[in-house]
Structure 1
């Protein structure tokens, strides 16, 4: 089922399936900021990634000597959430573990996904509570895809990414679907990165983000349109678009978790980038998306 929150600037539609954004429209000109899930290119809008981000090696992991199978980005994006709270400008979705989830992820949890509007800013907030008797291990992240408005005079290549603070950051390449850890390097995120289809020929660009209040912006000098994604304290960000089949969209993905390293031992307890949460404790994180046209 779809739910709507709105203010005088934005109207946002979210589905209870996956607590996934379906639409982010300008109230001024009806422009659609969110990618509309063309199944011939990429058939999603903005999935919630939980309890892993990225792919596990061979789609499996071990925990306390048992082997479990889980596909890329986890199961939350395909599950039905319930609405816990809603106002005109805010909504909170809730997902709890089930017998089926515990067959592939042996933890009891409560996952809340909140969307909140504040002027032209849409916040996506995560809350994870560990209901298991022992420690819980998980990753979580966002994956919003943004439309890139093009015309006869404005092409995709007229757009660029910029980051603030304007400093160089470590980039982690992918080898297949896994982190090529030994070949990470210092990337020039202190300068502009021009958008192009070939930018993603080796899959996502993955950067380690240090500190708080990092921002990734998608802009062009040829129009007033731009999107700012405030990463807050996300330790990683992925920038991605489908390749070689392409379209006018790009994803800016704040992550509190990451794909397996190619040299992983497969143990969940040792998986790089995961969050460890004590019994009855709650983890909170989130990011903001500001829209301008």
Structure 2
């Protein structure tokens, strides 16, 4: 594990996939990041690139050729990510395209993910460099899971998510294959709070496209704000947990899983981002412990 701390927080990052594996409040001793109990979900905060969610039949088409791609992309399980730089307040990891990656993703790139501590905030910063001679198509996202409850005298239902504004929100329902269907269900009606309960994710993740809010707080009705996630660089938001598990994932996304009616063409995939040759893309989200 790679470690970093300041006077308020300590973090640990797993070298496989550069996955955040601990986020501890040093003032309270509380571990806020889900610790990956495989009984529910063995991951903790995977980095999603170059796709989000599942592809139809696990495949996509680029310029007439078919490629296979695992759920959420290949970075999350990649052991070739290297620690490029460590400073007093940051860890910077780097992954470069390779002959192996070109077999499933035909673009030359450099992907950097940095974890930057600033008082009680962790910035998770992504940088993508297009080293190819053609435009690069990608999606990008985070998947951090936060413990709820954080004290033994509370239950999951004591917790809720509160957005920075009241909204009308509909979730785009996932079908049995994990693809996004055309069905939606209302979640908020000029409201700003989603209460956590064990049936909330019975139909899988809540998926909010083009969400107006760009900050959400995890709160306890007993002890107030636990933490917040700011995601102004991201268009979409996923909220998820395994039903009955004591955590909640707050997932900033640039992109979305394939829709059921997709033609599997990467260039026209819903939510896909395009980065021209020689250009650089940056996007950050911020986790603040209260």
For the criterion TM > 0.5, the same-fold answer is yes
Q: Which of 271, 274, 286 lines up with 1:288 in the alignment?
A: 286
SS at match of 1:200: coil
Structure 1 residues 110 and 167 mapped into 2: Cα distance closer, same or farther (>3 Å)?
A: same
Q: Is the 8 A contact 1:169 1:209 kept in 2?
A: no
Distance 2:117 2:168 in 1: 32
1:42 matched residue in structure 2: 41
The answer on 1:254 being equivalent to 2:255 is no
* CA positional deviation for 1:142: 0.3
Distance 2:93 2:16 in 1: 10
Structure 1 residues 79 and 150 mapped into 2: Cα distance closer, same or farther (>3 Å)?
A: closer
Alignment map for 1:106-255 (pairs within 5 Å): 106-149=106-149, 151=151, 153-176=153-176, 177-180=178-181, 182-184=182-184, 187-188=187-188, 190-210=191-211, 214-243=214-243, 246-255=244-253
Distance 1:97 1:152 in 2: 45
Q: Deviations over 1:33-55 (max 9, x none)?
A: 00001112100110000010100
Q: Is the 8 A contact 1:95 1:111 kept in 2?
A: yes
Q: CA RMSD in A?
A: 1.5
The answer on 1:265 being equivalent to 2:263 is yes
| Gaps in structure 1 of 5+ consecutive residues | none
Q: Is the 8 A contact 1:150 1:156 kept in 2?
A: no
The TM-score normalised by the length of structure 2 is: 0.95
Distance 1:29 1:231 in 2: 25
**Between structures 1 and 2, the one with greater strand share:** 2
SS at match of 1:61: strand
2:87 matched residue in structure 1: 87
* CA positional deviation for 1:151: 4.8
Distance 2:209 2:108 in 1: 29
2:51 matched residue in structure 1: 52
1:99 matched residue in structure 2: 99
* CA positional deviation for 1:62: 0.8
Distance 2:271 2:152 in 1: 43
The TM-score normalised by the length of structure 1 is: 0.94
2:4 matched residue in structure 1: 5
Between the two proteins, the alignment pairs up a number of residues equal to 287
Distance 1:60 1:172 in 2: 21
SS at match of 1:269: helix
* CA positional deviation for 1:118: 0.9
2:73 matched residue in structure 1: 74
Q: Deviations over 1:157-193 (max 9, x none)?
A: 011111112222343221120111x323554162321
